[in-house]
Amino acid sequence: MAKTVKFAALAAIAGLALSACGSTAAKTLVIATDLPLQGSAKDANDSTNMAIQLYLEQIDEDPDTEGVQFAGYTLELKTYDNATAAKGSWDDAACAKNAADHVANAAEVAVMGTYNSGCAKLIVPVLNEAPDGPMLMVSHANTNPGLTKAWDPGEPDQYYPTGTRSYARVATTDDYQGSAAAQFAAQELKVTKCFVLNDNQTYGQGVAKAFADEAAKQGITVIANVAWDAAAASYTSLFQQAKDAGADCVYFGGIYDNNGGALMNDKVAVLGDNTKVKVMGPDGFTGYPDFVANPNAEGVYLTFAGLSSDLLLANGGKPAEFLAAYKAKYGADPVGSYPLYGVAAVQVILEAIKKSDGTRAGVNGAVFPGGISVPADVSILGKAININGASGDVDLIDITVELVTGGKETTKMAWAVQ
């Protein structure tokens, strides 16, 4: 008879945990996720945890034995919340505490996350100096370039105090995402003057800069690249600047959690609907039910640093099979496109575990410096995932352009970065 996977509450940690009550003969290894499980991003990140739980059940090598058995180990999934109710999104203090808790849990060998690049920049250096480490971290959603390559001063070396890399990701970076958005804006939307906003956070500043730099190369006049204050009561003065300058497009570089609803409403109030002055945003605005339900978001173009679930589904194979299994188990599709990339990140971790001696150093050493691959016939993305052992970056430079219409994110096209 197939076993039932048991779930238990985690003390002081939001989310679900896959029980590891298996045979004492198999060493237990903990894989953690570190995501914001409160606020606007909750639905998408709950979906990511649920997708990972389902995948672990699917790869269990001994369904008749308690716990998930894989490569001679019993695997446990432990979920961490890096958001706070007060902030409604990821929080610096929560990220720092989680980093310490990951290191303190001697059974943890790898972390899947984070969702936000700024949080990763707090956690990665701590994991890099973990006892018996460095400790591997693989993100499904971090897109700020500085985590893996030269971007801001001191990056990326400041995140690896041991001198050994320990961070990888399965999504491409904002230098590609921002460039793709600007190319689409120029070539498809035919805009000529863009007003660029950023949320003054690591991710938002990076993607806004990439958009602005490429927009200028594409012949678009960049009126300004200025920060919006997430605590502001109104953004009408910002959009009045855009109106006075004759903007025919606005770019939101940041995350929806940072008062994105009010930002969207004030844009329409001052500049009109999105057929008049186009709006583009990055993946920091994808996967938010509240955003797409807002009538003022109708007609907004978004980019996603990867292939949307629609595009993956159209390719059939593993992605389609998994999405069907997810809907059968949970009764609904995952929210947003990052849940599948969360599974892809876990696949990288599992390949590393399979090639390791089960220690933190061994798991990380399976990825760095030699690199690691998930074969195409196994990959949840339907194509090989190759992690560069020098940088930690993936070789997949996929960007999806989406359109918000009818209260939904709809896939418009995959964009080949030029």
> In this predicted model, what pLDDT tens digit does every residue of 52-89 receive, in sequence order?
999 999 999 998 887 899 999 999 999 999 999 999 99
- pLDDT reported for residue 67: 81
pLDDT of residue 148: 98
Write a three-state SS string for the chain. CCCCCCEEEECCEEEEEECCCCCCCCEEEEEEEEECCCCCCHHHHHHHHHHHHHHHHHCCCCCCCCCEEECCEEEEEEEEECEECCCCEECHHHHHHHHHHHHHCCCEEEEEECCCHHHHHHHHHHHHCCCCCCCEEEECCCCCHHHCCCCCCCCCHHHCCCCCCCEEECCCCHHHHHHHHHHHHHHCCCCCEEEEEECCCHHHHHHHHHHHHHHHHCCCEEEEEEECCCCCCCCHHHHHHHHHCCCCEEEEECCCCCCHHHHHHHHHHHHCCCCCCEEEECHHHCCCHHHHHCHHHCCCEEEECCCCHHHHHHCCHHHHHHHHHHHHHHCCCCCCCHHHHHHHHHHHHHHHHHCCCCCHHHHHHCCCCCCEEECCCCCCCCCCEEECCCCCCECCCCEEEEEEECCEEEEEEEECCC
The values of phi and psi at residue 167, to 5°, are -130, 135
Average pLDDT over residues 159-184: 98
Q: What is the pLDDT of residues 235-292, one digit of tens each?
A: 999 999 999 999 999 999 999 999 999 999 999 999 999 999 999 999 999 999 999 9
In this prediction, what percent of the chain has a pLDDT beyond 70?
94
Q: Note the pLDDT tens digit of each residue in 340-369.
A: 999 999 999 999 999 999 999 999 999 999
pLDDT 10s digits, 215-239: 999 999 999 999 999 999 999 999 9
Query: 75 is written with which tokens?
Result: 């695997």
Phi and psi angles of residue 183, each rounded to the nearest 5 degrees, phi first: -65, -40
pLDDT confidence of residue 209: 96
Pairwise CA distance, residues 141 & 285, whole Å = 12
Q: Tell me the C-alpha distance between 385 and 345, whole Å.
A: 9
pLDDT classification of 12: cutoffs 50, 70, 90 = very low
CA atoms of 186 and 175, how far apart (whole Å) = 17
How far apart (Å, rounded) are the C-alpha atoms in residues 371 and 233? Answer: 47
Residue % of the chain over a pLDDT of 90: 92
Beta bridge partners of 195: 224, 250
| Contact indicator for 396, 383 with CB cutoff of 8 Å | yes
pLDDT of residue 401: 98
Q: Is 298 helix (H, G, I), strand (E, B) or coil?
A: coil
d(CA 54, CA 303): 27
Omega within 30 of 0 (cis) for the link into 134: yes
Confidence at 25, pLDDT banded by 50, 70, 90: low
**In this model, does residue 295 exceed pLDDT 70?**
yes
pTM score above 0.75: yes
Q: Which residue has the tokens 């599709």?
A: 333
At residue 65, the pLDDT reads 86
**Could you give the CA distance from residue 90 to residue 82 in angstroms, rounded to a whole number?**
5
